[in-house]
Amino acid sequence: MENPIQNDRWTVRLPILLSVTLAAGMLLGATFFGGSKGIADVARGHTKFKEVLQLIDNNYVDTVNTDELVDYSITKMLEKLDPHTYYFNPKDAIAARSQLESGFDGIGIEFNLYKDTVYVVTPLVGGPSEAAGIQSGDKILKVNSDIFTGKKVDNAFIFSKLRGPRGSEVKIEILRRGVPKPLSFLLRRDRIPTFSVDAAYMMDKEVGYVKVTRFSESTYDEFKNAVSSLKTQGMKKLMLDLRGNPGGYMDRATNMVDELLAGDKLIVYTDGKDDRYDRQTRAKNAGMFENGSVVVLIDESSASASEIVAGALQDHDRALIVGRRSFGKGLVQMPVNLSDGSELRLTISRYYTPSGRSIQKPYKMGDLEGYEKDIKNRFEHGELFVSDSIKNNPKLQYRTDAGRIVYGGGGITPDVFVPRDTSMMSPYLYELFAKNTVRDYALNYVNQNRKQFEKQTFAEFLKSYNVTDADLNGVVKNATADNIKFNEKEFSRSKPYIRTYLKALIARYAYQKRDKGGLNNEFYQVMSNTDEGIRKAATLFDEAEKLAKGNVSLKDAKK
């Protein structure tokens, strides 16, 4: 989806940039600053800035770009505020908004920007690139007359060249492994839908699994469709996976909770300096899954809207929360579209879970770098591996409906801890990821053996297919061709993961159907065999059932 698989600071800041917002249509009005007691101070500051900018433009010894100076000034000013108030210049605003849209007009590829070079991860099913024959692993050399290598190539640049009006044409020049000369493709852009529910399938006769990757425009509708489909298949228990979900629209998150929560229970409330942004959101609809046990998976990358869902369900004892302590993002932003196409996301309030918790982790005004190091610090202090390393503030204790102790001040602490599994990770594996070597092998393998896969169902494949040592040797051979230096010790450590990951990718390319609304069920079903979080969560539905029925002992309540 002209959708990046990124390795840069953008990825690190995603929970910050995809922060909780108010309802999608709400924007600041012309009277936003009308009630400010400091209006005279604001006016004086505006006059001073205008004077300095005019002096520079008229008198500075060299020619300067005043637009760049203004962008820089705004960015540096906002660094004195909280870490979630953020400014996007017009180019970056387009890329940021696209993360929450339900679709776009483009050529339909998932790409990876690696060392100033753009690689195709995969052409999206049903898109122009797939129809034209663009393949995973293709290196994009040129788009129309624009060279696609070098330091100028960033995500905003890529978006601006690949996306465009539906029906418009774009010429792509690519370099493909094994083909000596570049290949040219003339593509006609089309509408490319994007999806936020990445998987929805039955794990067994009773347990349904739903993976939500973000809270975008279409998330609530996708979630309802997924739950409805699973219920027709007999779902009586729900595993909701919010791991790695950086958040998005608040109302999509609260609507999701409303489908799981009975009565008119409080879901979330906000409080800010201006009482126009103070509100309470309660359950109001007859939900699709108000009965039946629920387990929610979270981790250190589950942020903002994800934490609203987990916090509300935990406070009302509606779901058992499993995994690791979440990101800790409890501030609400108002998106403001500025006149030149840039965007300001301004923090206007804090949100609180039903028990009264603010789960915003501590921060120092103006210290964005220190704030971004929090996850790294958790890793170094052992919190991602040992539950006893989680240091909750004893002064920030709150009670769920049933009297269980929960904590504020830094994310949602899970009811059941699952350590991060790094036993199979290695630098060699990370290089394979960066160059998309395993993906490329899987796609080529499926293309060469498609008739074989057409003879068996996915259920048969899942049960009987095994990745051979010859396949692994093929991956290593391709990696060497990609200038990835072989390391026997690291390869041996990562071999079980590579084997499972390769099978999962083969399943995706061989069996993913166009009529599934973007679901990657086959991939997740294979990967779940090595996913300790899913395996642990699957054993906890009896405990979740106790919560759903209000069977919480005094001992449990004091935990």
Query: Would you state the structure tokens that stand for residue 487, as one six-digit string?
Result: 């390391």
CA distance 375 to 384: 9
Q: Supply φ then ψ for residue 281, to 5 degrees.
A: -115, 125
Other residues' Cβ atoms within 10 Å of the Cβ of residue 139? 17
Do the beta carbons of residue 396 and residue 389 sit within 8 Å? no
Which residues, 6 or more positions from 487, have their beta carbon under 8 angstroms from its beta carbon?
A: 426, 427, 428
Q: What share of the chain is helix, strand, coil (3-state, %, to 5)?
A: 40, 20, 40
CA distance 268 to 260: 14
Query: How far out from the chain centre does Cα 358 lie?
Result: 22
Sign of the alpha-carbon torsion through 253, 258, 261, 266:
positive
CA dihedral 259, 414, 197, 86 (to 10 degrees): 100
Which residues, 6 or more positions from 304, have their beta carbon under 8 angstroms from its beta carbon?
A: 15, 18, 19, 20, 246, 247, 248, 327, 329
Query: How far out from the chain centre does Cα 269 lie?
Result: 24
Do the beta carbons of residue 321 and residue 415 sit within 8 Å? yes
* Residues that are catalytic: 304, 329, 333
DSSP string, 410-453: SSPPPSEE-----TT--HHHHHHHHTTHHHHHHHHHHHHSHHHH
DSSP string, 462-494: HHH----HHHHHHHHHHHHHTT----HHHHHHH
Which residues, 6 or more positions from 436, have their beta carbon under 8 angstroms from its beta carbon?
A: 112, 119, 121, 136, 137
